[in-house]
Amino acid sequence: MTMKHLFPGQSAPDIRACNAPVIARLQEALRAAMNDVAPTGGDYAILDFPNHGNIGDSAIYLGELALCRQHFGRSPALVTEANDDDLARIARLNPDATLLLHGGGNFGDLYPRHQQFRDAVLRRFVDRRIVMMPQSIHFENVANVAPSAAAIAAHPDFTMMVRDRSSLQFAEQHFACRVLLVPDMAFMLGAIAPPIRADLRVLGLMRKDKEAAISDNGDLARLPQPAQIVDWPDEWKYPRKPDVLPDFLRRWLPPQVQGWKPASPAAFEWLANKRLQTGLTILARGQTVLTDRLHAHILCVLLGIGHVVLDNSYGKIKKFSDEWTQDSAFMRARSLAEAVDMLNAD
């Protein structure tokens, strides 16, 4: 199935021109949503920082940060990971501070640590305004919905943003809270200039995790050459934390040496930027990109790279692109064989 605007034969400027109004429209929707859920000014915290190698989550975080700086007029008072021992730090914030739960695609039972942390925040801080940034919702077992539904029902000021219509319908059916349909926060990064010149005909960025939908990769041998297949990289190259120091001392260190366990908002931002730049450099190697990762699709839209998308295990990319990016320069394939045929026809 092809989209309205196709990238074959389009120059890079044509692709960027095609994508520019899409980016502008989605940024305006994000600003409007934030204006609707939280007052301007005041303190805020971003909770559940994505301290892992999925570069798409770093793009989401930096988009959240960009929007929040515009909306609140300042940097966050606190950034935390999904750790229960951070609840005491959250409790010390100004009582009027808005608590923002990081968005993405981990709402449900595929990633239980993050879901349990969100539930704990909702249960403990019933006197605070809490906003969940745009998420995709997926439960393998509907019985696992109950703890989150109970935590949400008990909170008087919780707004849930979701980024696809399927998640909207699920949330409206199962959760007693305000629900808004909102694009992905990574679009607040805006258009991005590719950091390097392409050196591959095709760069394939393919999942190797629990969301991977392709088990037989035999058709990859038919890709136009030169081509390379990768996934987001492992994290060995990033600096490790200085284990001998407690967090209250680590947060005073320069961001670049706080390592894998940041303790200050500046260090979280530095680490997210480091990861994002790695991802942008990977994608920019391809004249075209083949991917089954949602944020490879989104970052290609921002970079102005034509690309072919396959879906993940539960249809996340199709749901999202049908709602938000169908007018951008990409093609969607129903199978790997069809995707490779599209790339060979380009």
206-251 pLDDT per residue, tens: 988 766 666 667 788 899 999 999 999 876 555 665 666 677 677 7
Length of the chain: 346
What would the mean pLDDT of 94-100 be, rounded to a whole number? Answer: 96
**Amino acid 243: pLDDT:** 61
Alpha-helical runs (H) found in the chain? 12-37, 55-72, 87-91, 112-124, 146-153, 165-174, 247-250, 255-258, 265-284, 294-303, 316-324, 336-345
Q: Rounded distance, CA 141 to CA 203, Å?
A: 35
Whether 140 shows a pLDDT value over 70: the answer reads yes
* Amino acid at position 226, single letter: P
Q: What CATH number belongs to 21-189?
A: 3.40.50
**Amino acid 248: pLDDT:** 67
Domains of the chain: which residue ranges? Answer: 21-189, 200-345
Q: Rounded distance, CA 170 to CA 6, Å?
A: 32
User: pLDDT digit string (tens) for 240-265?
Assistant: 656 666 776 777 777 777 677 787 89
